[in-house]
Each structure stands twice: as structure tokens, then as C-alpha cells.
Amino acid sequence: MDFIIGHYNYWVVIFLMMAGFYTIISRGNLVKKIVGLNIFQVSVFMLYITMSTVHGGAAPIISEGVENYSNPLPHVLILTAIVVGVATTSLGLALVVRIKEAYGTIEEDEIHELDHSL
């Protein structure tokens, strides 16, 4: 039981990760896939952030009387990763817009059909 509760952050991460992954695989709608991709990435961000917490640690801002800080480095890393994620999402959405223009649909199976009926 301790194992389960003690690692609750991991359970959240794993749940999110699988949910996102499943969405990417199972959905035929290109926008939904990108949503899934976002959930998938966010789960990893959470993995990093929760990992950086130190028991009893305060926020990593130097102040009087605080000895124990959480590790600030993962936050910084994840800031970078979030930027990357935003860029990926925007590029993906831009592609979806272009696909919509070119095919008139954003459903994967319909696109597939259009390509093969040429």
C-alpha cells in the first residue's frame, strides 16, 4: 500500500502518459492526435518536476533561515522542454491547417482514401 501511495506521482505520470499515447494511436482526427501528443509530453514534464522535490525542501529561492531547497535544475530543463513542446504543437497545427486546405478533411482514413483514389 505504501508503495502505491508513496509513488502516487508516478501513477499520475504513467496514467497521463498512457492516455496521451493511446489518443495518438487510436484517434483518426489529426487535431486529436496533437492533443494526445501534448498530454503525452506533459506527463514527462510532471515526471521531471515531481522528481526534483526534496522532502521538506522549500522553493529554490534563497531566503533567510532556509537550509533545504528543492532542486531547481529540472524546472529549468522543463521550461526549455515546454518551449519545445509549444513549438511542436504549433508546427503540428499549422500542418493540420495545410492538410485541411489540401485535402478538405483532417480525418486520417479519409486522407488515406483520397491519396489512393488518385
Partner 1 sequence: MMQGHTSLLLVVLPLIFAPITAVLPRGRLTWLATMAVTSICAVLAGMQLMMVIDGGVISYELGGWAPPWGIEYRIDSLNAFMALIVAIIAAVTLPYALLSVEKEIPERQVPLFYSAFLLCFTGLLGITQTGDIFNLFVFLEISSLSSYALISLGRRRQALTSAYQYLIMGTIGATFFLIGVGLIYSETGTLNMMDLAARLPGVADLRTTQTGFAFIMIGFALKLALFPLHLWLPNAYAYAPSVITVFLAATATKVALYVMLRVLYTIFPEGVVAATPTGDLFILSGMFGIISASVYAVYQANVKRLLAYSSVAQIGYMALGIGLGSATSVMASIVHLFNHALMKGALFMAVGALIYRIGSSRVENIRGLGRQMPWTFGAIIIGGLSLIGVPGTAGFISKWYLVLAALEQQIWLVVAVILAGSLIAVVYVGKVIEALYYKPPVEDNISVKEAPMLLLLPTWALVLANVYFGLDTGLSVGMAEHAVETLGIIAK
**Least distance in angstroms from the C-beta of 49 to partner 1:** 10
Binding span for partner 1 by CB under 8 A among 1-9, 37-45, 58-66: 37-45
Q: What distance in Å separates the CA atoms of residue 103 and residue 45, rounded to the nearest whole number?
A: 34
Check residue 91 for interaction with partner 1 (CB under 8 A).
yes
Q: What distance in Å separates the CA atoms of residue 49 and residue 77, rounded to the nearest whole number?
A: 9
Amino acid at site 15: F
Binding span for partner 1 by CB under 8 A among 1-9, 46-54, 55-63: 46-54
Angle between helices 73-103 and 108-116 (to 10 degrees): 50
Contact with partner 1 (CB under 8 A) among 9, 29, 32, 44 = 44
**Least distance in angstroms from the C-beta of 62 to partner 1:** 17
For residue 34, count CB atoms less than 10 angstroms from its CB and return exposed for 0-12, middle for 13-18, buried for 19 or more.
buried
Check residue 39 for interaction with partner 1 (CB under 8 A).
no
Check residue 102 for interaction with partner 1 (CB under 8 A).
yes
Half-sphere exposure of 16 (CA within 13 A, CB side): 18
Binding span for partner 1 by CB under 8 A among 1-9, 58-66, 85-93: 85-93
**Least distance in angstroms from the C-beta of 65 to partner 1:** 25
